[in-house]
Chains A and B, each alone.
Chain A
């Protein structure tokens, strides 16, 4: 089997932003994304993943991953997320090289 090179863009942001970020990803032409609960410590304060009930659920963080074969799409997503969301909310964005199977799944329309 042959692996193909692709880019993975990872966004860690407050849960309250996830809808907005997913809309940006959809608009960029990426074909899909994965959202998982996140936690940890950042510049603002600790965001712990906790099994304990949290009265304000929307302040926990999520990790959103998008794989695209075209780097420019990844750049567009990253720039837009930083511009539109991270003025007032905490979050980070980074890019990773990944190798994928079935590249047609990651091509834009």
Chain B
């Protein structure tokens, strides 16, 4: 009983973080029909800022890191990406009223990774004083890309079976290129390279680091407003999407927490790193995933997968997932 009481208290403390406040505030503002607008250009700039900061920090630390320690978590990331998509498709295939291609696309999006959710996790870990390997956010592409590729390949195999005979080839290299060229991953990878190769400590500490939290709060406001707007779209598709979107992030995060714990025992993956891995797994792509899936699985209904991800999956991953994984880590690792 003590365990649960302790857990609940820690969980509620996490819930008061200002980051979550902005997310809920955004939803409230949109629900009340406010004319408050954050221009699109600012949104894109914020995404760049956040990922550049995460990249620079990671790049600077990778210089001294033992890269062999990264191998197992990276392998686990690939594994989780594949498992999440495969499992998601299995789940959707059992549900009534779900179009197969819509289900595959939704599972793909939930296997892919959200940069904004990752940024929130980093701030919350900093607030809690939990250290993590700065290269841990670089696990992002290891999960993101395999998940999107698997979903698109499976959707095309399914279409081929239905149409019979007509040979559809999936250009895997094209999907990898598209993912890496996406605005979020480009900024992260550029940041990693700059952090690794240049003396970027001063610009990181004087510019990117101080602005990180402020910009993240604006991003959360935008995500909240978008989440509310997309709920209307989700209403037009089967209810199962909303139920999947509410439960899947937590399930995926817990699987990753388990694998992360194994990495902790085997190669000393830090508790903070385990949390980051869980958050990456529980997050669902919002920036680069949807266009990639729209191009790769054009027959899937975007209202199904974007509605599930933006209006339910992402808020759940941020508001419930992150506090849950932090609280769990605090108890498991006795932080």
Using a CB–CB cutoff of 8 Å, the interface residues on chain A facing chain B are 14, 16, 45, 50-59, 87-89
Most buried by A among B42, B44, B295: B295
Q: When the two chains form their complex, are residues A55 and B295 in contact, meaning their CB atoms are under 8 A apart?
A: no
Q: When the two chains form their complex, are residues B233 and A45 in contact, meaning their CB atoms are under 8 A apart?
A: yes
A52 in complex: contacting residue of B225, B233, B236, B306, CB < 8 Å: B225
Q: When the two chains form their complex, are residues A51 and B306 in contact, meaning their CB atoms are under 8 A apart?
A: no
Q: Given A55-B223, A88-B298, 16 more contacts at CB 8 Å?
A: A45-B233, A45-B236, A51-B39, A51-B40, A52-B38, A52-B40, A53-B226, A54-B226, A55-B222, A55-B287, A56-B306, A56-B310, A57-B40, A58-B290, A59-B302, A59-B306
A53 in complex: contacting residue of B43, B233, B298, B302, CB < 8 Å: B43
Q: When the two chains form their complex, are residues A54 and B40 in contact, meaning their CB atoms are under 8 A apart?
A: yes
In the assembled complex, the CB of B119 is this many whole angstroms from the nearest CB of chain A, namely 14
| Cα separation A27 to B186 with both chains bound (whole Å) | 31
Query: Residues of B contacting A16 with CB < 8 Å?
Result: 291, 294-295
Q: Could you give, for residues 35-55 of chain B, a 1 whenever the CB lies within 8 Å of some chain A CB and a 0 otherwise?
A: 001111011100000000000
| Cα separation A54 to B229 with both chains bound (whole Å) | 10
Residue of B nearest to A51 (CB): B37
Residue of A nearest to B222 (CB): A53
Known: A51-B40, A53-B40, A89-B298. A59 touches B222 (CB 8 A): no
B310 in complex: contacting residue of A14, A55, A57, CB < 8 Å: A55
Residue of A nearest to B233 (CB): A45
| Cα separation A53 to B295 with both chains bound (whole Å) | 22
Query: Residues of B contacting A14 with CB < 8 Å?
Result: 294
| Cα separation A59 to B286 with both chains bound (whole Å) | 13
Known: A54-B226, A55-B226, A57-B40. A45 touches B303 (CB 8 A): yes
Interface of B: prevailing SS: helix
| Cα separation A102 to B303 with both chains bound (whole Å) | 45
Selected A-B contacts with CB under 8 Å, 15 pairs: A45-B233, A45-B303, A51-B39, A52-B225, A53-B38, A53-B43, A53-B222, A53-B226, A54-B43, A55-B222, A55-B310, A57-B44, A58-B291, A58-B294, A59-B290
In the assembled complex, the CB of B308 is this many whole angstroms from the nearest CB of chain A, namely 13
In the assembled complex, the CB of B61 is this many whole angstroms from the nearest CB of chain A, namely 29
In the assembled complex, the CB of B280 is this many whole angstroms from the nearest CB of chain A, namely 18
Q: Is the interface on chain B under 10, 10 to 19, 20 to 34, or 35 or more residues?
A: 20 to 34
Q: When the two chains form their complex, are residues A59 and B233 in contact, meaning their CB atoms are under 8 A apart?
A: no
| Cα separation A56 to B303 with both chains bound (whole Å) | 12
In the assembled complex, the CB of B317 is this many whole angstroms from the nearest CB of chain A, namely 14
Most buried by B among A50, A55, A56, A57: A55
Q: Does B174 contact A (CB under 8 A)?
A: no
Query: Residues of B contacting A89 with CB < 8 Å?
Result: 298
Q: Does B299 contact A (CB under 8 A)?
A: yes
Known: A45-B233, A45-B303, A88-B299. A55 touches B291 (CB 8 A): no
In the assembled complex, the CB of A89 is this many whole angstroms from the nearest CB of chain B, namely 6
Q: When the two chains form their complex, are residues A55 and B294 in contact, meaning their CB atoms are under 8 A apart?
A: no
Residue of B nearest to A88 (CB): B298
In the assembled complex, the CB of B300 is this many whole angstroms from the nearest CB of chain A, namely 9
Known: A16-B295, A45-B233, A88-B299. A56 touches B290 (CB 8 A): yes
In the assembled complex, the CB of B101 is this many whole angstroms from the nearest CB of chain A, namely 10
| Cα separation A55 to B310 with both chains bound (whole Å) | 9
| Cα separation A59 to B291 with both chains bound (whole Å) | 8
| Cα separation A56 to B38 with both chains bound (whole Å) | 14
In the assembled complex, the CB of B56 is this many whole angstroms from the nearest CB of chain A, namely 24
Q: When the two chains form their complex, are residues A55 and B286 in contact, meaning their CB atoms are under 8 A apart?
A: yes
B291 in complex: contacting residue of A45, A51, A53, A56, CB < 8 Å: A56
Q: When the two chains form their complex, are residues A53 and B286 in contact, meaning their CB atoms are under 8 A apart?
A: no
Known: A45-B303, A59-B302, A88-B298. A52 touches B37 (CB 8 A): yes
Query: Residues of B contacting A56 with CB < 8 Å?
Result: 286-287, 290-291, 306, 310
| Cα separation A88 to B295 with both chains bound (whole Å) | 10
In the assembled complex, the CB of A75 is this many whole angstroms from the nearest CB of chain B, namely 25
In the assembled complex, the CB of A58 is this many whole angstroms from the nearest CB of chain B, namely 4
Query: Residues of A contacting B225 with CB < 8 Å?
Result: 52-53
